[in-house]
Amino acid sequence: MTDKTPPPVPPSAPVPPESPARADEKRQRILDAGLALFARKGYHATAVPEIAQAASVATGTIYRHFATKDALLNAVYLHWQSALTAMMETRGDTRLPVAERFAGDWHRLVVWHRDHPDASAFLNSHAAMAELEDDARAATHAYRMALQGIVGAAMDRQEIRMSPPEVTASVLHHAAAGLARDARAGALALTDPVIDAAGRLLWLGLTR
């Protein structure tokens, strides 16, 4: 009688571990895809499989890097808010007249929003989300404090009119983000002369 028992299946070769560089590259693709989709569709309207498809990774790969969708949101937010804050905390030459320092800081702020359209839209529309954790909220606070620093010294020396610093920070942020939003919509060309003209209008409002 012929033995019909199938031969044993050899064990599968172990899957080699992913290199750190390859893992970092996938993580960055996930962050980039998350930013683009959150900026365009909003966090709640974006599904994790959509992010995976945009990042060219499996859905499970996202969960190997980020435990939850909320964790991905916070990572994206913290990265970009920290980048914007670090830019704003880089002060110009303190020997310049205060009006010139304001003009330079304002110009850098608007250019950042103009040159990072997805990040600008994302940060502006997700800053008040309940899903943000303490680190992300702290980054937002640091950004607002950096904005207050643009005019804080001038207020201390009474070179411009006094107003609540948090109000001034909010006006500066929404003015810069609004200009960038209108530029994305094609309502205006956000050239250097346009940025500087808007800065002069703001400065007049602060000094009169």
Q: How far apart are CA 145 and CA 133, in angstroms?
A: 19
pLDDT in tens, 25-58: 999 999 999 999 999 999 999 999 999 999 999 9
Give the residue, 24 or 178, on which the prediction is more confident.
Answer: 178
Burial tier of 63 (Cβ tally within 10 Å: 0-12, 13-18, 19+): middle
Q: Is the pLDDT of residue 7 over 70?
A: no
Q: How far apart are CA 76 and CA 170, in angstroms?
A: 22
* CA 156 to each of CA 77, 88, 138, 159, 164: distance values in angstroms, whole numbers, following the listed order: 32, 19, 25, 8, 12
* CA 6 to each of CA 3, 11, 12: distance values in angstroms, whole numbers, following the listed order: 9, 15, 17
Helix (H) or strand (E) run with residue 71 in it: helix 69-88
pLDDT in tens, 62-100: 999 999 999 999 999 999 999 999 999 886 677 788 888
Q: How far apart are CA 141 and CA 80, in angstroms?
A: 14
pLDDT in tens, 117-153: 999 999 999 999 999 999 999 999 999 999 988 877 6
